[in-house]
Amino acid sequence: MKCRICQHAISAFMTFGPMPIANCFLTQDEFGSEFFFELKPAFCERCYTFQIENQPDPELMFHDQYAFFSRTSVFMQRHFRAYADWVADNHLRGDDLFVVEIGSNDGIMLEHFANRGIRHLGVEPSANVAEEARKFGVESIVRFFGPETAAYIVSEYGQADSLLAANVMCHIPDLNSIAKGADLLLKPAGVLIFEDPYLGSMLEKTSYDQIYDEHVFIFSALSVVNIFAAHGFELIDLLPQETHGGSMRYVLARKGVRDISSSVSGIINDEKAAGLHLPETYRQFKRDCEASKARLVGLLTDEKDAGRRVVGYGATSKSTTILNYCGIGADLIEYISDTTPIKQHKFSPGMHIPVKPYEAFAGDYPDTALLLAWNHQLEIMAKEKAFSSQGGKWISPIPDSKSKT
């Protein structure tokens, strides 16, 4: 295949096998018509972009039944309040301010601009989550972002001071069109700010579950520099984040318009020292994924052999990759507990494990919980002290470091 960014010839360095749509929770009568594609990651040696070879059509993933609602984590609600405050304090100056967010979901971040009286607009193709945002005073248009949407926004609302995004840039296959849209939309000194799961963290933790249909890219600073340079944008700041198992916030502006923070060269040097630009790093990642799979299947098989009840905690998108790659089905996990109504009483994509409301877990503790929402570990451990203290055991599919079992 050709690199989605620079058109260099690239090929996948491994396969995770056939995968369903990560957020397509289904009913029993839908099992026969389930969509599968082969999940194969590739690395471009020219522009350093980590990407997947085949991505299903975005309309199959983002629609009026989208299953992920951002507000399901209280920690993330706090994070987005802080993100909005940081943008307002550091990057918004002057009068008649206007902020646009790509992938604004249920309004978890824009709510805070609305509360400050700052003009805002969400661009959100999944109609059901955009509708939820309305309850929080957040205005959205139900569209995919790109140059046409940008031109529409400029004609209806004017140019923006900031174009914001969180956990969405890595979902969009045609980033050249996003950069063109940003160029149309932003005022001359406007900034593009986005954060996404960080490639360095994924490699360090072997958190291969960050790779699934929606996540067509896993970014590093090295790759983000190359992706946007072709469109006249430069990276002016980088801020590591703890969210989603390790993320990075990228701040970009038109070349020469803003000062560049020293953290940019610092983090790029760290990435080179960690070998993020080298193909051998990805060959090692493949071996790490295989070891991670063997560990997890071994632990769950031991639980089963000991006659212990295991349930999954959090029907995350990420868990679709883990469960399907490792071949973990309802023989090893009785059900998955999740607080999101649209996922409940359905079955997990591909492996068809029942998804039950949280009350099923709280009302009848299993022996062991598989922490599929491992990225929300602090929040969940604080909430589940009673389970842990009465002897409940936790297994994390992604232990904190490679050496930990």
> Is 373 among the residues that bind ligand DWN (CB under 6 A)?
yes
Two structure tokens written together for 317: 């998108």
Q: List 393's β-bridge partners, or say none.
A: 368
- Separation CA 23–CA 17 (nearest Å): 17
**Which of 42, 216, 376, 387 forms a contact with ligand DWN (CB under 6 A)?**
376
Two structure tokens written together for 346: 């359905």
**Which of 72, 126, 207, 292 forms a contact with ligand DWN (CB under 6 A)?**
72
- Separation CA 13–CA 40 (nearest Å): 7
> Is 375 among the residues that bind ligand DWN (CB under 6 A)?
yes
> Is 73 among the residues that bind ligand DWN (CB under 6 A)?
yes
> Is 68 among the residues that bind ligand DWN (CB under 6 A)?
yes
Amino acid identity for residue 341 in this structure: P
> In the stretch 160-179, what mask flags binding to ligand DWN with x, by CB under 6 A?
-------x------------
Two structure tokens written together for 331: 């023989």
Contacts of ligand DWN in 85-144 (CB under 6 A): none
Which partner from the list ligand SAH, ligand DWN, none does 72 bind, CB cut-off 5 to 8 Å by kind?
Answer: ligand DWN
User: In angstroms, what CA-CA distances link 233 with 152, 182, 224, 226?
Assistant: 22, 10, 10, 10
Which partner from the list ligand DWN, ligand SAH, none does 123 bind, CB cut-off 5 to 8 Å by kind?
Answer: ligand SAH
The residues, ordered by sequence, that sit 6+ positions from 337 with a Cβ below 8 Å of its Cβ are: 311, 312, 313, 314, 315, 355, 356, 357, 358, 360, 361
Q: List 355's β-bridge partners, or say none.
A: 336
Could you tell me whether strands 247-254 and 186-197 are parallel, antiparallel, or unpaired per DSSP bridges? antiparallel
> Is 16 among the residues that bind ligand DWN (CB under 6 A)?
no
CB 253 within 8 A of CB 233: yes
| Complete DSSP assignment for 257-314 | TS---HHHHHHHHHHHHTTTT-HHHHHHHHHHHHHHHHHHHHHHHHHHHTT--EEEE-
CB 47 within 8 A of CB 5: yes
Contacts of ligand DWN in 348-367 (CB under 6 A): 358
Residue nearest to ligand DWN (CB): 314
Q: Looking at beta carbons only, is 186 or 373 nearer to ligand DWN?
A: 373
Contacts of ligand SAH in 131-170 (CB under 6 A): 144-145, 166-168
CB 355 within 8 A of CB 322: no
Sheet containing 160-166: which strands, arranged edge to edge?
140-141, 119-123, 98-102, 160-166, 186-197, 247-254, 233-241
Which partner from the list ligand SAH, ligand DWN, none does 124 bind, CB cut-off 5 to 8 Å by kind?
Answer: ligand SAH
**Which of 43, 68, 233, 335 forms a contact with ligand SAH (CB under 6 A)?**
68
How many residues in total does the chain contain?
Answer: 405
> In the stretch 102-131, what mask flags binding to ligand SAH with x, by CB under 6 A?
xx-x--x--------------xxxx--x--
- Separation CA 389–CA 402 (nearest Å): 27
Q: Looking at beta carbons only, is 113 or 145 nearer to ligand SAH?
A: 145
The residues, ordered by sequence, that sit 6+ positions from 238 with a Cβ below 8 Å of its Cβ are: 221, 248, 249, 250, 251, 261, 263, 264, 267
Q: Looking at beta carbons only, is 332 or 336 nearer to ligand DWN?
A: 336
> Is 380 among the residues that bind ligand DWN (CB under 6 A)?
yes
Q: What is the residue whose two structure tokens read 């939309």?
A: 185
Phi first, then psi: give them for residue 114, nearest 5 degrees: -60, -45
Which partner from the list ligand SAH, ligand DWN, none does 73 bind, CB cut-off 5 to 8 Å by kind?
Answer: ligand DWN
**Which of 159, 261, 263, 340 forms a contact with ligand DWN (CB under 6 A)?**
340
Which partner from the list ligand DWN, ligand SAH, none does 145 bind, CB cut-off 5 to 8 Å by kind?
Answer: ligand SAH
> In the stretch 183-222, what mask flags binding to ligand DWN with x, by CB under 6 A?
-------------------------------x--------
Give the chain's count of helices (H) and strands (E): 14, 17
Q: Looking at beta carbons only, is 203 or 380 nearer to ligand DWN?
A: 380
Two structure tokens written together for 230: 């072709």
Q: List 357's β-bridge partners, or say none.
A: 338
Contact region with ligand DWN (CB under 6 A), list: 251-259, 296-304, 335-343, 346-354: 335-343
Least distance (Å) between residue 363 CB and ligand DWN: 15
Q: Looking at beta carbons only, is 151 or 278 nearer to ligand SAH?
A: 151
Enumerate binding residues for ligand DWN (CB under 6 A): 68, 72-73, 167, 214, 314-318, 338-340, 358, 373, 375-376, 379-380, 383
Residues that bind ligand SAH (CB under 6 A): 58, 62, 66, 68, 70, 102-103, 105, 108, 123-126, 129, 144-145, 166-168, 171-172
